[in-house]
Amino acid sequence: MRIVVAGGDGFCGWPTALYLSRKGHEVTIVDSLVRRKWDEELRSNSLTPIASLEDRIARWKELTGREIQLYIGDLNHYDFLRTVLAQTRPEAFVHFAEQRSAPYSMIDREHAVFTQVNNVVGTLNVIYGIKEVVPNCHLIKLGTMGEYGTPNIDIEEGYIRIVHNGREDVLPYPKQPGSMYHLSKVHDSHNLMFACRVWGLRATDLNQGVVYGLHTDETQMDPLLVNRLDYDGVFGTALNRFLIQAAIGHDLTVYGEGGQTRGFLNIRDTIRCIEITAENPAESGEFRVFNQFTEEFSVLDLAEKVRRVAEREGLNSRIVHLDNPRVEKEKHYYFAKNTKLKDLGLEPHLLTDEALLDILQTAIKHKDRVLTENVLPKVTWK
């Protein structure tokens, strides 16, 4: 297949592009390189040293003979996007190219506005570009489980059957997003649903949980192909932060009581989910929603797991509780459905001690790169 991976320089996009290329697909990466600029803005870095995107792609071709086409540009520039679509004629468009950090979106008004404009307008441009240039292209859009929030009922996959005053309908599942970033994803979902219903486009919204892990078979082929690993309080996930804190001898800092529960999946499952979705496209006019996660854990569960694995490596890590900088429920019911991708063939990689040890050992190897002033939260919702 001809597949565009927008955001192909990022944590999820890069290993996805390599995986699809190795599988024999004609892959094109579209990226503005803005993720690297955000590191400069925040005075942060990837724990792993990452090469330039051009050097990464060149090394991939040397190793495999597979060419990945590259376009540097912004999806918010419609003429650029339209040119890419006209020249590549994709059969699937994998959309990772959004500002994906809740804390970044909550820094201040400017960052909230940027996040919503960048994400919503960029996705609208993709919708219109597909409609005008490649109307049969399947849009695979990375959503987030954070759209749902933490309702006191089971979370369905995108839709819920409602009986009200004697009448019945299947409606979009109610959304309770927890940040300006998550709100942007809700707007995306509504726009995509509209486009499919009105213009007959085909789209799959992958409501992804928190991704952990670092390596895939492809990124381990050469040091120039290594994936990025974020650990700071803005882009680093709780699990990554705990692992890096353990590696440098810092306390494991749990927000509040640590009862916040979310869905998680391994980066290897992320790339497999994209492949499964591309191989099983939505029908014309269909807007599908898959909940893309494999396990559920609380923040305190993760801290305990990291503490236990760190002890095996001779690292004594203490769990401490910080005032929660976010506004969220700390004790809540959480049960989300995630059967659709498994029905299509996903065989999950579960969060084992060995998986955690793999990341921890990488963190220990590169611990001299850790900017210790970035391991605690600086952004507050309040």
Residues taking part in catalysis: 144, 181, 185
* Torsion angle of C-alpha atoms 177, 183, 186, 192, degrees rounded to 10: -170
State which amino acid sits at residue 112.
Answer: A
Q: What is the pLDDT of residues 73-113, one digit of tens each?
A: 999 999 999 999 999 999 999 999 999 999 999 999 999 99
Is the pTM above the cut of 0.95?
yes
Q: Which of 134, 147, 139 is nearest to 183 (CA)?
A: 147
Mean pLDDT of 133-142: 98
State which amino acid sits at residue 318.
Answer: R
Rounded Cα–Cα distance for residues 3 and 278 (Å):
9
Q: What is the pLDDT of residues 322-353, one digit of tens each?
A: 999 999 999 999 999 999 999 999 999 999 99
| pLDDT for res 221 | 98
Angle at 318 between CA 312 and CA 320, to 5 degrees: 145
Q: What is the pLDDT of residues 197-246, one digit of tens each?
A: 999 999 999 999 999 999 999 999 999 999 999 999 999 999 999 999 99
Q: What is the pLDDT of residues 253-296, one digit of tens each?
A: 999 999 999 999 999 999 999 999 999 999 999 999 999 999 99
Rounded Cα–Cα distance for residues 363 and 48 (Å):
8
- According to DSSP, residue 179 is labeled S
At the topology level, CATH places domain 2-371 in Rossmann fold (3.40.50)
Angle at 105 between CA 253 and CA 56, to 5 degrees: 85
Q: Which of 268, 171, 188 is nearest to 227 (CA)?
A: 268
Angle at 273 between CA 271 and CA 276, to 5 degrees: 115
Give 251's contacts (C-beta < 8 A, 6+ positions apart): 245, 317, 318, 319, 320
- According to DSSP, residue 215 is labeled -
